[in-house]
Chains A and B, each alone.
Chain A
Amino acid sequence: MTTAVARARRRRWARTARWSGWLWVLPALTMYAVFVLRPLALTFQYSLYHWNGIGVARWAGVSNYVTVFTDRDLLKIIGNAFILIVFFSLIPVGVGLLVATLVRRITSGLFGTVVRTVLFLPQVIPLVAAGIAWSWLLSSTGLVNQVLRGLGLGGLTRAWLGEFDTALPSVGVIGAWVLIGLCTILLVTGMSKIEPSLYESARLDGAGPFREFLAVTLPSLRQEIGVCLTVTVIAALASFDIVYIATGGGPGLQTTVPGLEIYRLAFAQRQVGLASALGVVLMVLVLVCVLPIQRLTREDKA
């Protein structure tokens, strides 16, 4: 008798709990629907039209997508984003691993705090400010060229952000500077979780620092590296602010990235349909790049 009542009550409670659960997430869900799903759906809708944002739209079918994949300039712009992955992802993760391994032993104490703060500082500075500061550093009379001249390397000086060969790598360096801190901090934190006994036994087995890194550190950091790569690849493909401030996409189309082009197409050229199509393609590209990373770094857990 009592057990039956209790069971019934529990069942009722379970049912209410299920509904009240939805109730709790409702505010967040509404926000998500209004500010993420709806714009996403609208972007997709716009991408099927020729529209200037004000007048009457004309049905375009997939012709905007055809343009994205056939226009030589747009393909170059998408290519630029992939070149930036080298600077925004590979270099920060590589350097981050190196630095993290070096500072692993000094994570505690005042010195450790100082090191982490300095490394993380670029994350705190607004990207626009960083872009402006770097464009001063890299200008033809800027610090970088002054240092080169001081070292007697005057022949190497140039307008780093203004020349065709150096503009994109220079923008990449700014991005690397911003993201190295983030990667290092994530990796240092990950390392602090590794069992010290693992290192001990590796050393007992006669492993040197390099072997130790490959056999212990790297596998243990799989998830952190996954997070670093995901965040930085997205930052590379969806970059906008640094490029907009440092070069404005020039010279020529040398540093124009999809984010910048979407903005230009939509607001300056008023081709909302084409801009939306490029936006959708960019989203798909991000997913195509990021999903395999997620899968590779999560495999063990499943």
Chain B
Amino acid sequence: MPGYRARRRVTLAAPLVALAVVAACGAPGAEDSPSGQSSAAVSTQLGSEPITLEMYAETGFPLAKALADEFSKQHPTVKFNVREDQFTVIVENAPRVMASDNAPDIIRLPTMVDLVKDGLLKNLDPYFTAYGWDKFPASQLVQLRVAEGGRPRGNGSLYAMGLGYSVTGVFYNKQLAQKAGMTQPPATVAEFEDLLAKAKAANVQPIMQFNKNTAGINFPHQALQNQFGDPAQIADWIFQKPGATFDTPAALEATQTIQKWAQAGYFPKDANAIDYTAMMGQFQKGGGLFMFNGDWESANLDKSMPGNVGFFLFPGEAAGAKHVAMSAPNTFGVSAKAKHPDAAAFFLNWVHTNDKAREITVKVGGSSPGGPSDLGVPPAADGTVLAETLEASQQLGADNGAVDFTANATGAIFASAITPEMQKLVAGQQTPEGYVKAVQTEYEKELSQ
């Protein structure tokens, strides 16, 4: 018996000793962080040697693969090895994959700030100069710039490019619009609210929006916030400029409006149990008059409800106000450890400037291809919602009204503050004041890390 006891004590002690030994070892993590700054000369030539570019893209975003295929057709020496994952999986994997020895050459990026801080992203400034990307409208690339050390975003060196530049707004079901007495897209926020009330009275679900897993109601929230105050304030907050805060009158007013809409039943009663896929299914089945979403769904909606779907940018407070809307590049960057950075940059430049590539971006991706302002946007078929979103995108460009998503402010703000607090808000478990404060508290907590 004592022998048994003693042995058991040894058995218990073994892992503890192991714990102590390991804990006494050095700190985890990379000792040398590879520098993203490349001072070496860059080449704008592809070279004649056959190469394979490693691309890490998003499932359900067929544009990347389509562009890669077309590129290989035009440049047979370059082959692509495309790996696809859900976007949320990429968000989780990106740092580890890019730190590994077979880092992808071209990768769909989540928020870039942490990646720049850890030196995992290639600085594209040399290519900016070499390819003359200064001929692109500066506002197009502003979200892709990160200052040294990762903060603030919005100025500093260029770290990524867009495979298409998306715009968000409101899709509407034309049949239901008729039923609700809507003859033309609303010109002011008040008109929009008026339509919501009319739809409700006509027994039409006014807004179909998801709020499960991630807060889809953050779309209408920011759409309102964009109108109620200076959008530059929102941009500063997203870019982590010192002193920027979410606790503003505009954000509060937007939150109060969302609360009002929730209480009035303008969102689905079970919004907290509807995820993105379910929302798309419902909207296509005629489950709601409006849906806040982005042009990445245009091609899809044209297919599933042809002729029955329209799109408008969310209106301002006063008629004729400049449009402000969330709009972001489908961000792709080059790993600091990429084996073929020159070819990757060549591809990114080609995406923006090649006629065929631009056409694919519009047809397959449903979004504006960006690029130099003197290149026209390839047209979409008349009467499609794709044509409407493209036009909205140009309108927004002309108004200089593009704002990034508040959900992109920090790596975890969406998951750890906006989503749970928004779910509470629409369920009546959180006040507008509490919401704004909770989001700001989490933001400060994350920035202090």
Contact = CB atoms under 8 A, between A and B. Distances in A.
A42 B18 CA distance: 10
Contacts of A57: 27-29
Nearest to B27: A57
B363 interface: no
B95 interface: yes
Interface residues of B, number: 48
B213 A40 contact: no
A51 B18 CA distance: 21
B7 to A, nearest CB: 14
A249 B212 CA distance: 9
Nearest to A135: B273
A252 to B, nearest CB: 4
Given A251-B424, A253-B420, A41 B29 contact: no
B49 interface: no
A27 interface: no
A250 B421 CA distance: 10
Contacts of A264: 415-416
Interface string B27-39: 1111101000000
B117 interface: yes
A240 interface: no
A163 B271 CA distance: 10
A161 B273 contact: yes
Nearest to B426: A251
Contacts of A161: 273
A37 B28 contact: no
A33 B272 CA distance: 44
Contact of B18 (A41, A49, A139, A268): A41
Contact of B272 (A48, A159, A272): A159
Given A52-B114, A56-B31, A251 B423 contact: yes
Interface in A255-302: 264, 267-272
B432 to A, nearest CB: 16
Nearest to B275: A248
Prevailing SS type, chain A contact patch: loop
Contacts of B211: 251
B96 A53 contact: yes
Given A140-B269, A164-B429, A45 B212 contact: no
Contacts of A53: 29, 95-96
Contacts, number: 132
Given A54-B95, A251-B423, A140 B273 contact: yes
A55 B273 contact: no
Contacts of B99: 54
Contacts of A56: 27, 29-31, 33
B449 interface: yes
A245 B15 CA distance: 34
Contacts of B274: 162
Interface string B1-36: 000000000000011001101110101111101000
B91 interface: yes
Contact of A59 (B27, B411, B424): B27
B398 interface: no
B415 A269 contact: yes
Interface in A3-61: 37-38, 40-42, 44-46, 48-59
A119 to B, nearest CB: 29
A241 to B, nearest CB: 15
A56 B29 CA distance: 5
A50 B25 contact: no
Interface in B60-79: none
B19 A41 contact: yes
B260 to A, nearest CB: 19
Given A49-B27, A55-B117, A44 B212 contact: no
Nearest to A247: B212
Interface string A154-168: 000011111110000
Nearest to A244: B213
Nearest to A42: B22
A140 B424 contact: no
B412 interface: yes
B92 interface: yes
Interface string B99-135: 1000000000000001001101000000000000000
Contact of B411 (A37, A38, A159, A269): A269
A40 B18 CA distance: 9
Among B33, B211, B427, max chain A CB count under 10 A is at: B427
A131 to B, nearest CB: 13
A269 B430 CA distance: 23
Contacts of A48: 23
Contact of B15 (A41, A248, A271): A41
B15 A268 contact: no
B270 interface: yes
Residue from B118, B120, B423 having most chain A Cβ neighbours under 10 A: B423
A252 B415 contact: no
Contacts of A162: 212, 270-274
Given A51-B28, A55-B118, A250-B420, A140 B21 contact: no
A54 B420 contact: no
Nearest to B33: A55
B419 interface: yes
A268 B413 CA distance: 10
B419 A250 contact: yes
A251 B29 contact: no
A38 B424 CA distance: 40
Given A37-B15, A37-B18, A44-B19, A252 B420 contact: yes
Given A44-B23, A251-B211, 5 more contacts: A51-B27, A56-B30, A161-B273, A163-B272, A248-B213
16 contacts: A38-B18, A40-B15, A45-B25, A52-B95, A54-B30, A54-B99, A55-B118, A56-B30, A57-B28, A58-B27, A162-B274, A249-B420, A252-B421, A268-B88, A268-B415, A271-B449
Q: Would you list the 5 A-B pairs with minimal beta carbon distance, nearest first?
A: A162-B273, A159-B270, A269-B412, A159-B273, A251-B423
